[in-house]
Structure 1
Amino acid sequence: MRATLRSTMIAKCEQQIARKGEQVGLSFYAFFKNKNDDPELLMEAATWWIHTHRLDHFEKAHKVKSLLISEQSLSS
């Protein structure tokens, strides 16, 4: 996953946790606007979410953030 997408996803998880609490759930669509203006980026997120990690449609933001951070530290 490209670093910019990972950073965007981590920031969105943090934002949602701050706004709605530790139990907030989200889907990979949460990282995009309501229009499909970058299908390659959307597919990259969907592949990471569905194929790589086999996550449910809605997952806890803190779980997604933890996965993203752990992968980030592995790639550094």
Structure 2
Amino acid sequence: MKQKIVAVCDAKIAKKGSNVGLSFYAFFANKNDNPALLLEVATWWIQTKKLNHFEKAVKIKELVLQMS
């Protein structure tokens, strides 16, 4: 999942610039085909990191790259 998040952030930054914001939904398809993974990412985003609904892609990428 970390690789996918970094790839999505890179693509959005390349397309819309370093000021682009994302929500955790940006890393999933429109249909909920993996609810456990969605919940894991949502928990990390909301409870662990206490992020707002939309955050800068560069910030998200940095946080993910800092994870071991």
TM tier, smaller = over 0.9
Match of 1:9 in 2: 5
> Equivalents in 2 of 1:13, 1:48: separation in Å?
17
Please list the CA deviations of residues 21-41 of structure 1 after superposition, one character each: whole Å capped at 9, or x if unmatched: 000000000000101010001
Q: CA deviation at 1:42?
A: 0.3
RMSD: 0.5
Q: How many residues align?
A: 68
Q: CA deviation at 1:6?
A: 0.8
The runs of 5 or more residues in structure 1 that have no matched partner are: none
Match of 2:50 in 1: 54
Percent of residue pairs bearing the same amino acid type: 57
> Equivalents in 1 of 2:14, 2:4: separation in Å?
15
Q: TM-score, normalised by structure 2?
A: 0.97
Please list the CA deviations of residues 4-32 of structure 1 after superposition, one character each: whole Å capped at 9, or x if unmatched: x1111011000100000000000000000
The runs of 5 or more residues in structure 2 that have no matched partner are: none
